Structure 1
Amino acid sequence: MKGSKEEIKAIDLRSDYKVNPIGIHNVAPRLSWRMTAYGKNRKQSAYQIQVFKKESDIKEVLVWDSEKVYSGESVNIPYKGKQLASRERVYWKVRIWDEKENVSEWSEEAFFEAGLLNKTDWEAEWICAPEKAAAVYFRKVCNIEKQPKSGRLYISGLGYYEAYLNGKKCGEDVLTPNRTHYTERVFYHTYDITTAVVHGENVFGVELGNGWYNQKDKINEKKLWYGYPKLLFQIEIEYADGDKDVFISDENTKWHESPRIYNNIYFGEIYDARKESIGWREKDFEDLDWKFAGKAEKPGGELTKQKAPSDQKICELFPKKISEVTPGMYVIDFGQNMTGWVKMRVSGKEGDKVQLRFGEELWPDGKINYYSTGSGWKQQKDIYILSGKKEEYYEPAFTWHGFRYVEVQGYPGIPKREDFVAVHIRAGVERSGKFICSNALINQIQKASLWSMESGLHGGIPLDSPHRERQGYGGDALITAKAMMYSYDMHEFYSDWMDDFIDAQDKTTGFLPHTVPCQDGGGGPAWGSALIIITWLMYRYYGDTKSAEEYFDNMIHWMQFLQTGMEKGIVEGEGTDKDCLGEWSTPGEILIPPRFVNTFFYAYNAKLMTELAEVLGRSADAEYFQNQYNETVLSFRNEFYDSKNGRYSIGAQGTEAFANKLGAIRERELCEVKQYLEKHITKECEGNLDTGIFGTPLLFETLVEFGLGEVAYHMITSVTYPSYGYMITNGATTLWEYWEKEYGFYQCPANHNQPMFGSISSFFYEKLAGIKPLKPAYKKIEIKPAMIGDLRFVSSSVKTPYGEVCIDWERNEDEILVSVVIPPNTEAVLLIPGQERKEIGSGNYQFRYVACEK
């Protein structure tokens, strides 16, 4: 029956963006849900949240009741009950009222549970192997005297750990915990081990590797070394009668050298299967020859929950081709550039050594070209030494590689396809968006963009490259952040990384490093501005104001630092350092002046700061930054607008796009600037790109906004240098660092898997599909597809905090068909080319239009 309470419901309950999280450190989490409802124009008019504790299966104690709140908001509602204590779990549910005051049933219950919030909660000690070893096994027997009711494992291992209880791995993560500046923060994990712990003897085992904590084989930008591996764990068991037992890392924990006799995050592993301790993580294992652990120094950083997902195994790829390039040397082609590792099955004699070397390009003779992934002298490499068993299996644990090709040497016999599997590994962020269209090349560009961006998601850091540098460059990351937010749920990932910027900021000057947590590397004002731009994007795309509130004073400090490099309203450099980057990775020489790009970012930052200050109720700051924006745009216009030629600055490499994004182009200049830009692209650039990482996405956006969508489409679908299509037609399955196929040392590419040009993906969603949030978290949505070029259809969807928005459009010579899905409790503006603007509420819609002539 229409209007009945069964028609509406609150679903997908989340606490701080997670479903039923445990081990949280935010004692007042934000609560969110989605509304499900039939029909059109469905809205939430009010909600009621109840939070309660369960003292038994039948007894509940109310902790907080919001009572009925008249609001359409269902994203990031602050919990206002009593703050959580360590280990405390509370449950919550919500019911909602619709636009006609019909009330739903209560939702299904959800919960959130606190971790160890105080230093005094930790009884465990940091331990280590007193004798240095590349990787170490730790083992502890825990005797459980009664039937356990519940169990928790709190653990951190630096650099990486894998934990096991009674032989079963705890969790699905790999390469954990995520990377930080360990003297500031150290992540720990909480695992629910209730189903793994048993009455009687339990064996807890950990393998500990170097990770980023003990990395000193490669000096990249700066020396990255903190200390030798160390482990902290605390197992807490609760019984039905209320009693508890605690088992901790201490000097009674035993250790033994792992057969992983070498492990490095850049260069790989050496695994000697002859040294295996079979059954070490299970019962009935004799550990008499194992030694007792030593006490380790604390790493220095604050122990806190890791918000961003750890790396996970995402999918497996099988060999497309195996070639013998010289006698005994084979090259496996997996058909896709990627990050991860290779699992291998092998049989042979004891002591046989199989070497796997990884790369992304081949020389003409079929051998792997290692220069694109770092150097020719020390490659990404795994070595497996056989034990001599009938059949052996090897899989790495504490490294990952960037590769498409694998060179195999020393393999007994002839390698077969079924003996090798490539495991794609990246951060476990959820996919949230899809895009496909009628143009095969655009689909290939989108696919390559996603593979590149995924390849950069490791250890909670958006990396510049997955092999050579592996650092969190701010400029590379800020320019792809919007694209990432369309295709993936990135909030918690970026939230942790923004904390790295706060850790790294100079407390005196306000300077923000170009990379974090490394805190070194090349860049300019754009790179540190990732803190402001990504925080603003989290507000726009996820409705997150809490991050802006936490970081706002740090952002002010950064802007104050940039002011120290200003002269007459132009940002000449970073403080007194004038030798810094502006744009990066243009075709050929970078011609656009750094001071032009630097001033753009300062003014753009001021614009975003104004909006965030208004949202946070900081009116004085909003007024200040509005004035900063106005004054800087005026200085920018006066300094860089060339009225004689109708262009900005050099009139190349995207200068007009920068000016347009900034709002610097006056109405009376607009016609001349458009004409100049079109002429520059079609004549001087012959329809191809001349932009770098910042100008490229701005240029595509500007062309559509200028009514030059056909020019943008031609550029995107071009297959001549320099263009995305040039990469694809030259065999790229991921995007390159430079537009050139060959570059630099030995005429090899710097690398062929770099996420920064993946910013094009946001153009596909925002312009070709036309999906854009008009209000934070997509509370109001714009659907404004650019029907350009020879596109015949586009199909796209984005899972927003309020639900999934979808658009499918197709056209022929006679008509245009548009289907849209607007999630409940939101509204949309539909802007189809040549048609009247439509305001629509939630629901499923189909529209048919007569096609307009181009």
Structure 2
Amino acid sequence: MIPELSVEHLGDALGVGTATPRLSWKIAADPGWRQASYELEVDRGSGATRHLVHSDEQVLVPWPAEPLSSRERATVRVRVSAPDGDPSAWSAPLTVEAGLLDPLDWTATGIQPPWHEDHSDDDRRPPLFRHGFELDSDPRRARLYLTAHGLTEIEINGRRVGDDILAPGWTVYQDRLRTIVHDVTDHLVAGENAIGAWMADGWWRGRYGFDGGTLNIYGTDIALLAQLEVELEDGSVRVIGTNTDWVAHPSPIVKSSLYTGETFDAELVPDGWTQPGFDDSAWQAAKVAEFAPGTFVAPEGPPVRCTEELRPVDVRRTERGSVVLDFGQNFSGRLRVRAAAGVGERLVLRHAEVLQDGELYTRTLRDATSVDEYRGSTGSIDWEPRFTIHGFRYAEIEGYDGPLDRLDVVGRVYHSDMRRTGWLTTSHEGLNRLHENIRWSLRSNFVDIPMDCPQRDERLGWTGDIQVFTPTASFLYDCSGLLSSWLRDLSAEQKRFGTVPWYVPVIPGAPMWTPIQPAAVWGDAAVLTPWALWERFADRELLARQYPSAASWVDQVTRLAGPSRLWNTGMQLGDWLDPNAPPDDPALAVTDPYLVATAYFAWSAEKLADTAAALGHQADAERYHRLHLEIADAFTAEWGGDDRPLDDPTQTSLALAIAFGLLRDPARRAEAGDTLARLVREGGHRVGAGFAGVNLLSDALTATGHVETAFALLLEHGSPSWLSMVDKGATTIWERWDSLLDDLTVNPGNMTSFNHYALGSVADWMHRVIGGIEATAPGYRTVRIAPRPGPLGCASARFESAYGAITSDWTVVDGAFSLSVHLPTGVTGTVELPDGSAVAVGPGEHAFRTSVEAVPGVA
């Protein structure tokens, strides 16, 4: 038995941003074994210290030794013991290295290009930066610390450093600017060396946002701050930092935009410019640029990387001579093109999510034209853009006249490189495709922040979208680090604007159809997203850090609602994109927006009470729980009726009332469930909810004894429904239920995307009810395994928790239900079978068999 050790939520322990990083480990032990104590060994190079702790905790435990200092390395091992047993073997050593923890550690000077630029021009040409230097010996160790105003990629001695893109990512730059650390030991040699930086506008100053976008959001000048620290063989340290000794030159990237794409001129490349010995005498000395080291932060989650390559499933040449490619999958990324011959002087790459009449349909991209261009070819090419990203399934290439079988094009899939943690497969192929569509939409939109879409002129961190989707996202992937970072930005913007904005980061002064103001569902992300992450990952530090933000939101809504406890003022988005709303007004849902606002007010108050209790703030917990009860009573008095649970019931109003505990009378709650089931049946089992209710429908039906109706809703093929998207060829989740109309033409609305994750929030219900895996304590320390077969013949679910893999596999054959369950060491739970029996289980393998009533349509 050898524990498997990790640090924080990071896959890489290089450059951690805290002096006291938390540690976690998994244990593969015999059933019945339990941890009673652990011992951590910390070796800082001058001798190891050991720290014995009597505890069964193994997730995010405190750093046991003295805090790390900047740049300090420590090797950590752990071993564990049962109450009366000998200690386990030591884990493999894990090396943890701190980044630059103090702003004074930065001695480099920021640099920017020396030439004048027209800051109102979209087509500003970004700079290259270069510096040559010598080392007296081969390096023993070398670290490159860097950040940028804009985006950067570094080369040393002609070799790319790292494999991340869009660095340093997008944060609320005026408060938080990420610094990146690379181990560049094997890039350097004794003697001459050279370092060069590619740059681009990115989010810093590139045009971004809708309605034409906004230029210079955070500043007008691209700038670089880099500090290369080299420990030589004799133990001395050489620091090579950006300063005015570095030189600049206009880039062969003629223009680069996250929306419009990138133009690269191969004839403008200074050959060998990142190699030693390059003649840079014609380059200009860089100019000093100001950075604010007090805003510097380390990454909390993984960078954006290429995680997969897709080959076209279809390639054809059009009558115009262009080449159209279908990758068979909508995704976020870009093309890499290789061709030995046949490339003209101008190669143009266009991108789109869908085809209409055999042509790329780009109207839905709005102002994000998504065109990449390569100039100056000699007939062959091996090229991929650097600083842009597109959402697409189809691509068109103009300027290539060679044979198609010699054209080598791949779709490079880019997103934050999160570790996958959740799986679900069933006997229903349509559901399996739906689940994959949800997963692909998550991947496409988790690009440094949780975006709404990857293709059009938007790509913003909408708070309501991620609020409803966090339970699904945090099962499928370990998104804890990414969302932890984003929640810091939410708190910063909340303080700046006095409320939770509708999207984070905010684009100051961006043309928009509403000012920043409180809105239910969206603002509730301040409470509900940290709570969902607490349930998945048991990160108490994150929960405590976000508590002031969560409390501030609920307190603000309490003031807006006043003594009535009804939030019935101000603009609300309500049940956004309700399929029954007018196509040109997605906020005009059939459910009263103030009902939605008051319901979410009640739910956030209750979850804030739970948060306070988890943190030990008992007085707050009691106060916010009383507030929840007061809101629930006000809700029932305002919208309840004598002859039915709610006046003018809708799928969303009933789902909210049931799922959020607003009907305190059990009889009224049961009646609401019956009414909801009747509405769903009368509607042909088609979805009648938008963003505010779609994640709650199936749970509300299941909780009130109508699981068969929940399955019928999920398995319906008529539009609007989840499977109607699948039937129309979707490979991701759409923004609108009818983004593609029944005649397979694109919805004519201005707001039509084929890659939004919010309507995929139903996967959380699928994981818990079909797969049967549900956490009953934070981090899945205890679980409930209670699969409901419905009309399905089998299903298999797996969640890779912080403790290890939790699995649930079941089949129904000839009326016999068979279930296999695996729990890892450290996890206990209860298995609930379809016959109503329940069994307590611990770590290990468990098998169950019982009869189940025959259900029509078993697959």
- TM-score for the superposition, normalised by structure 1: 0.93
The letter of the residue matching 1:776 is P
C-alpha separation in 2, matches of 1:492 and 1:344: 33
Aligned to 2:522: 527
Q: 1:527 deviation in Å?
A: 0.9
Q: Displacement, 1:106?
A: 2.4
Q: Tell me if structure 1 keeps the 8 A contact 2:797–2:807.
A: yes
Is 1:776 the counterpart of 2:769? The answer is no
SS of 1:429 mapped into structure 2: coil
* Aligned match of 2:726: 728
Instruction: Please report how far the alpha carbon of residue 114 of structure 1 lies from its aligned counterpart in structure 2 after TM superposition.
Output: 1.4
Identity in percent:
27
CA–CA distance in 1 between the matches of 2:473 and 2:208? 32
Contact 2:349 2:398 in 1 (8 A): yes
- Which residue number corresponds to residue 303 of structure 2? 310
The equivalent residue for 2:149 is 158
Contact 1:338/1:403 (8 A) holds in 2: yes
Deviation at 1:760, TM superposition (A): 1.8
Quick one: which of 539, 546, 551 aligns to 2:541?
Answer: 546
Return structure 1 stretches of 4+ with deviation > 6 angstroms: 348-351
State how far apart, in whole Å, the 2-side matches of 1:720 and 1:219 are.
32
Cα drift, residue 299 of structure 1: 6.1
**Distance in 2 between residues matched to 1:704 and 1:675, nearest whole Å:** 11
Q: Distance between the aligned counterparts of 1:402 and 1:419, measured in 2?
A: 20
Q: What runs of 5+ residues in structure 2 fail to find an aligned partner? A: 118-123, 582-588
- Equivalent in 645, 648, 668 of residue 647 of structure 1: 645
Q: Are the aligned partners of 1:504 and 1:512 in contact in 2 as well (CA < 8 Å)? A: yes
Q: AA paired with 1:139? A: R
Matched, 1:631 2:601: no
- Code of the residue aligned with 1:260 in structure 2: it is I
Write out per-residue CA displacement over residues 203-255 of structure 1, whole angstroms, 9 at most, x where no aligned residue: 21111111111212665597352222110000001134331110000111122
| Matching residue of 2:51 | 66
The residue correspondences of 1:75-114 to structure 2 (distance < 5 A) are: 75-114=59-98
Instruction: Tell me the equivalent position of 2:846.
Output: 845
- Does residue 611 in structure 1 map to residue 610 in structure 2? yes
Quick one: which amino acid aligns to residue 580 of structure 1?
A: Q
The 5-angstrom pairing of residues 126-525 of structure 1 reads: 126-131=110-115, 132=117, 133-216=124-207, 219-220=210-211, 223=214, 225-227=217-219, 228-298=221-291, 302-346=295-339, 352-364=345-357, 366-375=358-367, 379-388=369-378, 390-416=379-405, 418-506=407-495, 510-518=498-506, 524-525=519-520
Letter in 2 for 1:514: W
Partner Cα separation in structure 1 for residue 597 and residue 747 of structure 2: 30
Could you tell me how far apart the structure 1 residues matched to 2:760 and 2:211 are?
A: 24
Q: CA separation of 1:654/1:117 partners in 2, compared to 1, >3 Å: closer, same or farther?
A: same
CA distance in 2, matches of 1:582, 1:741: 20
Q: Using a 3 Å threshold, how does the CA distance of structure 1 residues 766 and 126 change in structure 2: closer, same or farther?
A: same
Partner SS, residue 777 of structure 1: helix
Equivalences for residues 808-847 of structure 1 within 5 A: 808-847=809-848
**TM-score normalised by length of structure 2:** 0.93
Does structure 1 retain, via aligned residues, the 8 Å contact 2:109–2:243? yes
Tell me the amino acid that sits aligned with residue 511 of structure 1. Answer: T
Letter paired with 2:771:
A
Residues 651-800 of structure 1 mapped to structure 2, 5 A cutoff: 651-665=649-663, 666-683=665-682, 685-742=683-740, 746=748, 750-789=752-791, 791-800=792-801
Structure 1 residue 100: Cα displacement: 4.0
Deviation at 1:435, TM superposition (A): 0.9
Summarize the Cα distance change of 1:220–1:236 in structure 2 as closer, same or farther, 3 Å threshold.
farther
Per the alignment, in what secondary structure is the counterpart of residue 543 of structure 2?
Answer: helix
**1:677 & 1:835 partners in 2: Cα distance?**
24
Q: For 1:222 and 1:579, locate their aligned partners in 2 and report how far apart those are by CA, in whole Å.
A: 23
Report the CA distance shift for 1:217/1:89 in structure 2 as closer, same or farther (over 3 A).
Answer: closer
SS in 1 for 2:14: coil
Q: Tell me the C-alpha RMSD between the 2 structures.
A: 2.1
Identify if the C-alpha distance between structure 1 residues 417 and 315 changes in structure 2 by more than 3 Å, giving closer, same or farther. Answer: farther
Letter in 1 for 2:228: I
* Change beyond 3 A, Cα 1:28–1:301: closer
Distance 1:44 1:356, change over 3 A: same
From 27, 41, 50, the equivalent of 2:41 is 50
Q: How much has 1:605 moved relative to structure 2?
A: 1.2
Instruction: Indicate the residue corresponding to 1:597 in structure 2.
Output: 596
Contact 1:610 1:626 in 2 (8 A): yes
Per the TM alignment, residue 426 of structure 1 is displaced from its structure 2 partner at its CA by: 0.8
Q: 1:129 to 1:412 in 2, by over 3 A?
A: farther
User: Does the aligned pair in 2 maintain the 1:158–1:230 contact within 8 Å?
Assistant: yes
Conserved? CA contact 2:324–2:395, under 8 Å: yes
Q: Could you tell me how far apart the structure 1 residues matched to 2:297 and 2:750 are?
A: 43
- Deviation, 1:462, is 3.5
SS of residue paired to 1:44: coil
Tell me the equivalent position of 2:121: none
Q: Which stretch of the first structure deviates more once superposed, 210-219 or 727-736?
A: 210-219
Q: C-alpha separation between the residues in 2 aligned to 1:822 and 1:841?
A: 7
Note the alpha carbon deviations across 1:828-850, whole angstroms, 9 max, x for none.
11011114100011001222223
Contact 1:436 1:796 in 2 (8 A): yes
C-alpha contact (below 8 Å) 1:704/1:786 kept by paired residues: no
Residue aligned with 1:352, SS: strand
**DSSP 3-state at the match of 1:469:** coil
Q: Displacement, 1:679? A: 1.2
Q: Give how far 1:723 is off.
A: 0.5
In structure 1, distance between residues paired with 2:749 and 2:300: 42
Amino acid at match of 1:82: E
What one-letter code is carried by the residue in structure 2 that aligns with 1:512? V
Please tell me the residue identity of whatever aligns with 2:244: E
Deviations 1:746-782 (A, max 9, x none): 4677111111112122122111011011111111111
Mean alpha-carbon deviation: is it higher for 249-258 or for 556-565?
556-565
Distance 2:389 2:396 in 1: 16
Question: For the residues of structure 2 that align with 1:102 and 1:632, how far apart are their CA atoms?
Answer: 55
Name the amino acid aligned to 2:763.
S
Which residue identity is paired with 1:187? R
Would the aligned equivalents of 1:429 and 1:490 in 2 still touch at CA under 8 Å? yes
**Structure 1 gap ranges (5+):** 1-7
- Distance in 1, Cα, partners of 2:393 & 2:716: 25
Aligned residues of 1:44 and 1:825 also touching (Cα < 8 A): yes
Q: Distance in 2 between matches of 1:187 and 1:220?
A: 28
Q: Could you tell me how far 1:51 is from its partner in structure 2?
A: 2.2
